[in-house]
Amino acid sequence: MPLILDGKALSESIRVEISSYVERITSKGYREPSLAVILVGDDPASHIYVKNKRKACERVGIRSLFFHLPQNTTTPELLDLIASLNSDENVDGILVQLPLPTHISQQEIILSVSPKKDVDGFHPENMGKLVARIEGGFIPCTPLGIDLLLKHYGIDPKGKDVVIVGAGFIVGRPLALLMLWRDATVCVCHIHTKDISIYTKKADILISATGVPHLIKEDMVKEGAVVIDVGISKLDNKVTGDVDFERVKDKVYAITPVPGGVGPMTVTALLLNTLQAYKQNMDLKDESF
């Protein structure tokens, strides 16, 4: 049996720690941490993600402020809301749920969030810190969640061949930078890669983030590898990942399940980033977490 990298269990234990930190700090008279969540339109998947994130916040004592704007919201209207949240000292983090409706400029919105409140880590200032290996910036939630999961199970990327399939802005690209930071040798494949199996077969740590169900088959994975499945899609009406889990699992050293692997770690990383924003905003550097 492979080692199952249980993101759900690890998340639960980190969330207990966050919750007791918040209890401790608020009992000293400080206000609770707060996260503003903005959702534009009625995309059903985005609704579910936002609901889960808000529920997770509330369960650990982080106040979540919800701004649900109509589908026809304009870029200037959204920019106005973000500007007011940027200057509100009682708001620690701001999350704009992506994707935005196509008439809104995603780039302009990402640039408008204060880097100090950018708990998603998408602002170029935070991405730049990831490139330059500067501590203290916000690391995007899914890469950070994967990093925590690997660390927890004693899997050190240093000197390993890490192959990432998927070069998206939210997962693949920032994850490649984070794995480089961890001193791995990193290879990134994407839709234009001629034959991804040439690369996946060499991976000590294979991470797939494409959203293509069962893209990663048994014969594409090296014996004894660590496999991290970020993908979330539906196959035969069941939530499934990028990896053909049932066939791949007997060949590998460790693997994440879907659901229950990277998904909960992503939300936990959001809670940790919000706490980091709170501590910086409230100047609580000395309060250990």
What is the pattern of x (binds ligand NAD, CB under 6 A) and - over residues 139-178? ---x----------------------xxxxxxxx------
Tell me, yes or no, if 53 is annotated catalytic: yes
What three-state secondary structure class fits 105?
A: coil
Token pair for 72: 């026809």
The one catalytic residue among 6, 92, 120, 147: 120
Residue 260 binds to ligand NAD (criterion: CB under 6 A): no
Burial profile 172-190: b = 16 or more Cβ within 10 angstroms, e = fewer:
bbbbbbbbbbbebebbbbe
Token pair for 169: 């802005």
Burial profile 47-67: b = 16 or more Cβ within 10 angstroms, e = fewer:
eebbeebbebbeebbbbbbeb
Beta partners for 65? 36
Among 164, 232, 252, 270, binds ligand NAD (CB under 6 A): 232
Residue 41 CA to residue 43 CA, distance in Å, equals 6
Binding to ligand NAD in span 189-218, by CB under 6 A:
189-191, 193, 196, 209-212, 215
Q: What is the closest distance, in whole angstroms, from the C-beta atom of residue 145 to ligand NAD in the complex?
A: 7
Beta partners for 68? 39
Residue 160 CA to residue 16 CA, distance in Å, equals 32
Q: What is the closest distance, in whole angstroms, from the C-beta atom of residue 169 to ligand NAD in the complex?
A: 6
Rank residues 149 and 230 by Cβ distance to ligand NAD and give the closer one: 230
Among 57, 231, 243, 274, binds ligand NAD (CB under 6 A): 231
* Site residues for ligand NAD per CB under 6 A: 142, 165-172, 189-191, 193, 196, 209-212, 215, 230-233, 262-263, 266
Q: Which residues are catalytic?
A: 53, 97, 120
